Structure 1
Amino acid sequence: MNFVLKEEKGFTYVEEGQGEPLLLLHGLMGALSNWEKVIEEFSPHYRVIIPILPIYDMPILTTGVRALSKFVHKFIKFKKLTKITMLGNSLGGHVGLIYVLSHPGYVKALVLTGSSGLYENAFGGSFPRRENYEFVKGKVEYTFYDPAVASKEMVDEVYANINDRAKVIRILAMAKSAIRHNMKGDLRKITMPVALIWGRDDKITPPEVAVEFNQLLPNSYLYWIDKCGHAPMMEHPEEFNKYLNVFLDKLKQ
């Protein structure tokens, strides 16, 4: 599927389909292509929108999860969106949690997959061997249950990003901001329906993170995908879409 990137008013995004909006938020190392199968499945019935989050374009002093949430709000107001079902993977889920606490009136439901916000075991506080391609390849493969999902194109992109000084400084600042901004004390305030679609073999946000989210979010549903790591919508897109359909059907009841 070829994505048509739209650029308007300082925003770059993909928009496919008509209907109620599904707003998809990518992770720290994520790309629009991560959501390809979600777009294919749901754009016939929903308005699927993916903004590119300006992780590499923020002033270093304001680079953080709160700033991304503010960016998302500007985008939502620009697109005049309401009754949103918001989906977030990894950092995108964390941004979604912050957003719905600040602006619950715009979002009717939330879907988290491999979300940060409680605990994550990511690259860590630095990239000690970022010039070593095999080291970076191993780290990208660690994201998945099946290392073959980590394509050369994906590894090349991560390698290029973390060897760009301006980008790696912002990646590290964003990762540290996510660790500092723990959501545990706020999750009970989120009363809208939340779907947790989780890889049972996620090593970055392990299964116990999903269980804790499920316990703390008062109106949440937990769906497991076996033999699956940190990005279920990429590694097992058919199962991910099946559970997303189940949840979206619940919202219609």
Structure 2
Amino acid sequence: MSETTDTTAVRSAVRVDGESASYLTAGRQDGRPVLLLHGTYWSRVWLPVLDHLADAGLRPLAVDLPGLGRSGGELTLETGAVPALADWVARFASSLQLSGPIAVAGHDIGGAVAQHLLVHDQLDVSRLALVNSVTYDSWPVSSVARFRDPEVVAATTADEILTARRQAVTQALADAATEQRITDYLHPWTDERVRRSWMAMVGAADNRYTRDAVPALRQNTTPKLLVWGEDDDFQKVEYAERFASEMPHTTLIRIPDAGHIPTENAPDQIGRVLAGFFTA
């Protein structure tokens, strides 16, 4: 692994659709599984809290979606859409032979995938956690939405993508933005295939998937937890407040002085909160 955070996490892989699906995990194989889904970043966002979950007796599985992070394959506009990504996550769980209720957490667009899995019963989701996730019509943000234009995609160079990603990562990490951490986060985008997959995912970004989920979420009794960095400029905390007020059995935990990737700003606090929620 290129990740530099001190952790007992290990990187492993399983075959899904004939391609390698890479994931970070920690703890015992017989622990209760927790699927951790990323969005426009990669599994690195979950690394700071994996040991907390493992120490609670859980089996965290932070997977890289196809074509992103360390996973093989390549996304297209079709396979990068939320329903297709949710289908893929269900196949990933099946490849690991995960059975019974599964806790799911999602960050960024991974939160849209998690919501889709819940309301469409693609997995037996026992608990849902959203960490600075997209909700309602909160996305795509302007820095991502421009890549929905094929002409913009065709005219964008590799250096421009890396520069844009560096700016986004630096802003998302907030006070945790050291040069080493930024380098860790950016490393996958040095691969042309990952850049193409990322542009396919953001090109397919469509808030109708989270808007369409709202009626079912309002009727859903699955316990839900929102963990939110209050200083997030991408996914405003006001959306989390609205979600918590409208969706039953939802608790909101606000993380002060934290940005879009609060797991890096307050790993111990968030790790304890997530572990407590998933083991309740």
TM-score greater than 0.5 by the shorter chain = yes
Q: Equivalences for 1:1-253 in 2 at 5 Å? A: 1=7, 3-9=10-16, 10=18, 11-16=21-26, 17=28, 18-30=30-42, 32-44=43-55, 45-55=57-67, 57-78=74-95, 79-103=97-121, 106-118=124-136, 119-120=138-139, 121=141, 123-126=143-146, 131-132=159-160, 135-146=164-175, 148-149=177-178, 151-154=181-184, 156-157=186-187, 160=190, 166-174=196-204, 176-177=205-206, 179-183=207-211, 184-249=214-279, 251=280
- CA drift of 1:49 comes to 1.5
Displacement after TM superposition at 1:215 (Å): 1.4
Q: Deviations over 1:224-246 (max 9, x none)?
A: 11000111212210111122233
Deviates more, 1:37-46 or 1:2-11: 2-11
Residue identity in the other structure for 2:209: H
Q: Is the 8 A contact 2:240 2:252 kept in 1?
A: yes
2:75–2:196 contact (8 Å) kept in structure 1: no
Aligned partner letter, 1:191? T
Counterpart amino acid of residue 29 in structure 1: Y
TM-score of the superposed pair, with normalisation by structure 2 = 0.77
Secondary structure of the residue aligned to 1:43 is helix
User: 76-85 vs 87-96, which deviates more?
Assistant: 76-85
Q: Percent identical across equivalent pairs? A: 23
| RMSD (Å), alpha carbons | 2.7
Instruction: Count how many residue pairs are aligned between Structure 1 and Structure 2.
Output: 247
DSSP-derived class of the 2:40 partner: coil
Report the secondary structure of 1:126's partner residue: helix
Structure 2 Cα separation of the partners of residues 105 and 33 of structure 1: 24
SS at the partner of 2:268? helix
1:150-207 alpha-carbon deviations (Å, 9 max, x no partner):
6341464375368976335313323x23x33233343203210001011111111111
CA separation of 1:136 and 1:14: change in aligned 2, threshold 3 A: closer
Cα distance, 1:139–1:50 mapped onto 2, change above 3 Å: closer
Alpha-carbon spacing, 1:189–1:77, altered in 2? closer, same or farther (3 Å): farther
The answer to whether the Cα contact below 8 Å between 1:29 and 1:158 also exists between their aligned partners in 2 is no
State the distance in 2 between where 1:48 and 1:55 align: 21
Amino acid at match of 2:166: K
Go from structure 1 to structure 2 and tell me whether the alpha carbon gap of 1:154 and 1:171 turns closer, same or farther (over 3 Å shift).
farther
Evaluate the alpha carbon distance shift between residue 149 and residue 171 of structure 1 in structure 2; reply closer, same or farther with a 3 A threshold.
farther
Q: Deviations over 1:32-61 (max 9, x none)?
A: 232222221122311111222115523433
**Once the two structures are superposed, what CA deviation does each residue of 1:108-159 show, in whole Å capped at 9, x if it has no partner?**
1011001113213352322677634655432222213326256341464375
